[in-house]
């Protein structure tokens, strides 16, 4: 490949400023004695500046508004996670209290298990503790399930 | 790497800040839309892809690595969606064209130095716009990224997921092709 051909290949990138300083020096030296390459180099420079000054098309305001609306809805759901904790924690406590409150009924309904089947148990205190812990665990599981569902719904948008 | 303003907005959006998302969008919306439009040349399709891109960005933002160039990350997401869109319509439209018609470029360059300078003195924007739109998609894309988005070649390589050498050769060919098309139009003009 002759020097002329090699330089000609470099011209587009030389005009866009995308060659090394050494290559650029070689290009400029060649341009000083080659009129056709100089014209071509000038063309690429003109093209580059014309491309840079093309008007920028803009999306319609309605489209931008729609995207913002969707994004806000999505971000609203994900950012609601910390607040969910404040809402779900009292619900867990309330669920646990309800479980404790229903203890006399549960005890009355299940007393035959302890008496009829003679299952060993540590008295009223142990049974109440077991019952309230079970109620607390169930309340926690329910709260986690509700929170997870809310996040999945948020992700689908 | 993202600029401090962009990085701040990204972190805020990751925490669920809606205003930060609006700021991020305001910063990139025109550039993103222009890039999409250069690919699909259809406002309806570009708007659809515009919406999809922002939703994808929102869904992927928690995976964004702050050490990475945000512009390249954003445009790469947009590009992936464009590819899916084009593949579903016209798979061969994505391919880089083989060299054609470049001999005209050489002959005109030899005969008329600086021919484009004269041609573009008037109606520059409209002429270039038309010529750009007639380019193959991959050429439109690289010309847009280099000259409209002012991306460095390394950033373009990141968006396109191709080696730097491929970006250089593609950009050179795109410029040659664009010049050829414009000069061809100039030659055809007196005959009309």
Please provide residue A3's backbone torsions phi and psi, each rounded to the nearest 5 degrees: -60, -40
Residues A37/B110, Cβ–Cβ less than 8 Å: no
pTM of the shown model: 0.69
Say whether pLDDT at A14 is over 80: yes
Where residue B45 falls among pLDDT bands split at 50, 70, 90? very high
Residues of chain B contacting A152 with CB distance shorter than 8 Å: none
Average pLDDT, chain A: 80
Q: Which of residues 81-140 of B touch A (CB under 8 A)?
A: 105-106, 109-110, 112-117, 120, 124-125, 127-129, 132
Say whether pLDDT at B48 is over 80: yes
B132: nearest CA partner in chain A: A51
Minimal Cα–Cα distance from B182 to chain A, Å? 10
Q: What's the rounded mean pLDDT across residues A126-149?
A: 76
Predicted local distance difference test score (pLDDT) of residue B54: 96
Residues of chain A contacting B175 with CB distance shorter than 8 Å: 12, 15-16, 44, 47-48
DSSP label at A55? P
Where residue A153 falls among pLDDT bands split at 50, 70, 90? very low
Tokens at A27, concatenated:
């290009």
pLDDT digits (tens, 9 = 90+) for A69-82: 999 888 876 554 55
pLDDT digits (tens, 9 = 90+) for A80-129: 455 566 677 777 788 778 777 887 777 777 766 666 655 555 566 777 77
DSSP string, B94-154: GSPPPP-SHHHHHHHHHHSTTHHHHHHTSSHHHHHHHHHHTS-HHHHHHHIIIIIS---HH
Q: Are the beta carbons of A60 and B114 separated by less than 8 Å?
A: no
Minimal Cα–Cα distance from A23 to chain B, Å? 14
Minimal Cα–Cα distance from A43 to chain B, Å? 5
pLDDT digits (tens, 9 = 90+) for B80-136: 999 999 988 776 566 665 554 444 444 444 445 566 666 665 566 788 888 899 999
Q: Are the beta carbons of B25 and A36 separated by less than 8 Å?
A: no
Q: What's the rounded mean pLDDT across residues A8-16?
A: 94
Predicted local distance difference test score (pLDDT) of residue A81: 54
Residues A43/B115, Cβ–Cβ less than 8 Å: yes
pLDDT digits (tens, 9 = 90+) for B164-180: 999 999 999 999 999 99
Q: Which residue has the higher pLDDT, A29 or A149?
A: A29
Residues A68/B162, Cβ–Cβ less than 8 Å: no
Predicted local distance difference test score (pLDDT) of residue A122: 58
Predicted local distance difference test score (pLDDT) of residue B121: 59
Question: Cβ of B12 under 8 Å from any chain A Cβ?
Answer: no
Q: Which residues contact B98 (CB under 8 A, 6 or more apart)?
A: none
B57: nearest CA partner in chain A: A71
Q: Which of A85-94, B22-31, B63-72 is predicted with the least confidence, judged by mean pLDDT?
A: A85-94
Predicted local distance difference test score (pLDDT) of residue A124: 66
Q: What's the rounded mean pLDDT across residues B153-169?
A: 95
Q: Which residues contact A48 (CB under 8 A, 6 or more apart)?
A: A15, A16, B147, B175
Q: How far is the CA of B77 from the CAs of A112, A132, B66, in angstroms?
A: 65, 51, 16
**Can you tell me the ipTM of this complex?**
0.79
Exposed, middle or buried by CB within 10 Å (0-12, 13-18, 19+), for B146?
A: buried
**Closest Cβ–Cβ partner in B37, B51, B146 for A16:** B146
């Amino acid at each position: 490949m002759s020097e002329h051909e090699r330089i000609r290949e470099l011209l587009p990138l030389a005009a866009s400023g995308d060659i090394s300083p050494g290559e650029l020096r070689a290009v400029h030296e060649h341009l000083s004695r080659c009129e056709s390459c100089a014209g071509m180099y000038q063309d690429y420079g003109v093209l580059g500046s014309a491309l840079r000054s093309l008007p920028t098309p803009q999306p319609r305001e309605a489209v931008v508004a729609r995207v913002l609306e969707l994004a806000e809805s999505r971000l609203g759901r994900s950012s609601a996670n910390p607040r969910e904790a404040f809402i779900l924690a009292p619900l867990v406590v309330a669920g646990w209290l309800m479980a404790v409150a229903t203890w006399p009924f549960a005890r009355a309904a299940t007393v035959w298990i302890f008496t009829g089947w003679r299952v060993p148990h540590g008295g009223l205190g142990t049974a109440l503790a077991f019952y309230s812990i079970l109620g607390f665990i169930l309340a926690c599981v329910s709260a986690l399930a509700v929170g997870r569902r809310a996040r999945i719904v948020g992700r689908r948008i | 790497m993202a600029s401090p303003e962009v990085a701040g907005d990204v972190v805020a959006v990751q925490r669920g800040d809606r205003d930060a998302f609006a700021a991020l969008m305001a910063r990139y919306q025109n550039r993103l839309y222009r890039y999409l439009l250069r690919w699909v040349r259809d406002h309806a399709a570009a708007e659809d892809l515009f919406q999809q891109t922002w939703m994808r960005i929102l869904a992927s933002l928690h995976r964004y690595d702050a050490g990475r160039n945000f512009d390249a990350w954003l445009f790469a997401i947009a590009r992936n969606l464009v590819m899916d869109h084009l593949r579903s319509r016209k798979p061969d439209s994505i391919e880089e064209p083989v060299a054609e018609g470049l001999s005209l470029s050489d002959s005109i360059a030899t005969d008329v130095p600086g021919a484009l300078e004269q041609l573009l003195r008037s109606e520059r924007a409209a002429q270039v716009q038309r010529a750009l739109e007639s380019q193959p998609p991959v050429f439109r894309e690289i010309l847009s990224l280099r000259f409209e988005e002012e991306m460095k070649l390394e950033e373009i390589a990141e968006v396109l997921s191709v080696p730097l050498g491929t970006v250089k050769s593609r950009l050179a060919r795109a410029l040659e092709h664009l010049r050829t098309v414009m000069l061809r139009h100039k030659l055809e003009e007196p005959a009309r």
